[in-house]
Amino acid sequence: MTGSIARRGLLVGTAATALTLGPVSFADAAPTPAPGNANGDANGDGPVTAVRTVRGTLPAGCPDFVHLPVEVPRGVREIAVSYTYVKTPVPAGTQGNALDIGIFDERGTELGGRGFRGWSGGARGSFFIRAEEATPGYIPGPVRAGTWHIALGPYTVAPEGLPYEVTVTLTFGPTGTTPEPVYPPERAKGRGRAWYRGDCHLHSVHSDGRRTPADIAAAARAAGLDFINSSEHNTHSAHSAWQGLWGDDLLILTGEEVTTRNGHVVALATDPGTFVDWRYRARDNRFGHFAKAVRRAGGLVVPAHPHATCIGCHWKFGFGEADAVEVWNGPYTPEDEIALAEWDNSLVAAVRASKPWIPAMGNSDAHREPDKVGLPQTVVLADELSRKAITAGIRAGRSYIAESSAVSLAFGVSGGRGLHAGIGERLPAEDDAPVTVRLEVTGALGCTAHIVTDQGTLFTAALPESGSGTVEWRTTPSYAAYVRAEVRHPASVPGLPGALAALTNPVFLGR
């Protein structure tokens, strides 16, 4: 039996950022045999199903999330949901309709609670969940009796409102067996203490990407990477999708891109199976709570593309909880140049206030072809190729960013009495003591090297035609509180800086 229930903004419950529609009940639905059986045979003896369809219109200015309760009876083997909405034409400069979707089970919708069962955003129009498997983006497991909630996320709403239709199909029958998840190991063979290359912001079919995990692992190896981080939008479903894809040469970390309405943050290298909630804005004062939860799960908090211009992408939570910040996201753009300038200003502020500084990192944010995995990549000095060692290196700023594995840097500062400091370290020289800054570059064809301090760029030198060479510059701690290196391509627009080929974290000078 198919029911059609109109829900035109009739809301029966409210919360700070969510509203709840009236419930959808299957209590009086007489289940009907669906065409075919569980094996797909068309003999009319298939599984028994019940269907409900809900239609309504979300008004402009509605909350970020609208919950549609579904009262699931006993004996359900599978829940399947499909939805559509009207993309109302709007005048130029006005946002049209965009509607995301996900689901919470009978354990509830409490912020950070245990009820989360999946999210696909706007990447797909349907999904299913049953014990033995689920649509990518969703968590397999039993469909237990109780009130489930379909979560609708009106990303943008046209002035005329957002008409939608949601169809819920319950399939009755014996519950299958949920497989035990298999997660990537926390250590790969590696090369001992060495510089390891990684890309920590990647998307597969488990969110809005088009590559499979196997595609991503192959692309990572082709890009010369040693580690990657699974970072799907608002779901951890991909954590168990990497079986057979790791190896002695590739460490796979698990995380999430926490995609809020006030910016995105990569939860990097959390414990496998960790879910990080995203249903809050900066004004709700909840981000600090979830940032601490990321760290309790062994992960790092990394604001992503903080100056991206997409709706909801611009970072508004501040950087007080950041362990690192993504200053370079994908092919280098003016957005990255702004992020780089803001990060450099934060270094100056940290020096002035004698406070901790935030390291920079770069990732590809690759979703599909032709996005390049490993453009850019963060190169980390770590004691071994392990989750613990890699995150320690990123947190300490012992890293640089390169556009590909063809580009390598060695950067450090030396002073009298055998003093030396590398990337992310401090050279404890006296204020007036002369120090030598040395940068070695490999593979940066046609580029120039730049030494940047808290005063700005104080030294620039063209690299040899081969793209490989060494530059040196001398200064004192009183003249430069820190030094860092940039390697840039020629400017494509007169008067503007060229795109980065590489960038280091700073070396601090003085006591």
The answer to whether residues 151 and 215 touch, using CB atoms and an 8 Å cutoff, is: no
> Which pLDDT belongs to residue 30?
57
Q: What is the mean pLDDT of residues 503-511?
A: 97
The answer to whether residues 181 and 240 touch, using CB atoms and an 8 Å cutoff, is: yes
Both tokens assigned to 282: 């900066």
Q: How far is CA 30 from CA 170, 171, 504, in A?
A: 11, 12, 65
Q: What is the mean pLDDT of residues 174-190?
A: 97
Both tokens assigned to 249: 């040469």
Residue type, 489: H
Q: How far is CA 62 from CA 121, 148, 157, 482, in A?
A: 17, 21, 8, 48
The answer to whether residues 253 and 195 touch, using CB atoms and an 8 Å cutoff, is: no
Torsion 27-33-34-37 (CA) sign: positive
pLDDT, tens digit, 9 for 90 and up, residues 433-468? 999 999 999 999 999 999 999 999 999 999 999 999
Strand partners for 466: none
Q: What is the mean pLDDT of residues 322-328?
A: 98
Both tokens assigned to 440: 């070695």
pLDDT band at 493; cut points 50, 70, 90: confident
| Mean pLDDT of all residues belonging to the chain | 94
Position 109 pLDDT exceeds 70: yes
Q: How far is CA 73 from CA 27, 69, 321, in A?
A: 7, 13, 43
Distance of CA 340 to the CA centre of its chain: 19
The answer to whether residues 314 and 308 touch, using CB atoms and an 8 Å cutoff, is: yes
Q: What is the mean pLDDT of residues 250-268?
A: 98
> Which pLDDT belongs to residue 496?
84
First CA to last CA across the chain, in angstroms?
Answer: 76
Positions of E strands within 62-161 = 65-72, 76-85, 98-104, 116-121, 126-130, 146-156
The answer to whether residues 227 and 201 touch, using CB atoms and an 8 Å cutoff, is: no
Lowest mean pLDDT among 40-44, 46-50, 109-113: 40-44
Task: Give me the long-range contacts of 12-18 (CB less than 8 A, separation at least 24).
Answer: 13/67, 14/63, 15/63, 16/284, 17/63, 17/64, 17/65, 17/279, 17/280, 17/281, 17/284, 18/63, 18/64, 18/65, 18/66, 18/67, 18/109, 18/279
SS3 175: coil
Position 7 pLDDT exceeds 50: no
3-state secondary structure 383-449: CCCEHHHHHHHHHHCCEEEECCCCCEEEEEEECHHHCEEECCCEECCCCCCCEEEEEEEECCCCCEE
pLDDT band at 27; cut points 50, 70, 90: confident
Q: What is the mean pLDDT of residues 2-17?
A: 40
> Which pLDDT belongs to residue 13?
37
> Which pLDDT belongs to residue 218?
98
> Which pLDDT belongs to residue 9?
38
Q: What are the two backbone dihedrals, phi and then psi, of residue 239, each rounded to the nearest 5 degrees?
A: -55, -35
Q: How far is CA 419 from CA 393, 426, 432, 451, 509, in A?
A: 21, 10, 15, 20, 11
pLDDT, tens digit, 9 for 90 and up, residues 364-402? 999 999 999 999 999 999 999 999 999 999 999 999 999
Identify the DSSP state of 331: S
Burial class (CB in 10 A: 0-12, 13-18, 19+), 130: buried
Position 31 pLDDT exceeds 80: no
pLDDT band at 33; cut points 50, 70, 90: low
> Which pLDDT belongs to residue 34?
61
> Which pLDDT belongs to residue 28?
77
pLDDT band at 47; cut points 50, 70, 90: confident
Position 14 pLDDT exceeds 80: no
Torsion 396-290-338-328 (CA) sign: positive
Identify the DSSP state of 15: -
Torsion 334-216-99-312 (CA) sign: negative
Q: How far is CA 416 from CA 314, 420, 437, in A?
A: 45, 9, 13
Longest dimension (CA), the chain: 89
SS3 240: helix
Give every strand in the sheet of 263-268, ordered side by side: 256-260, 263-268, 300-304
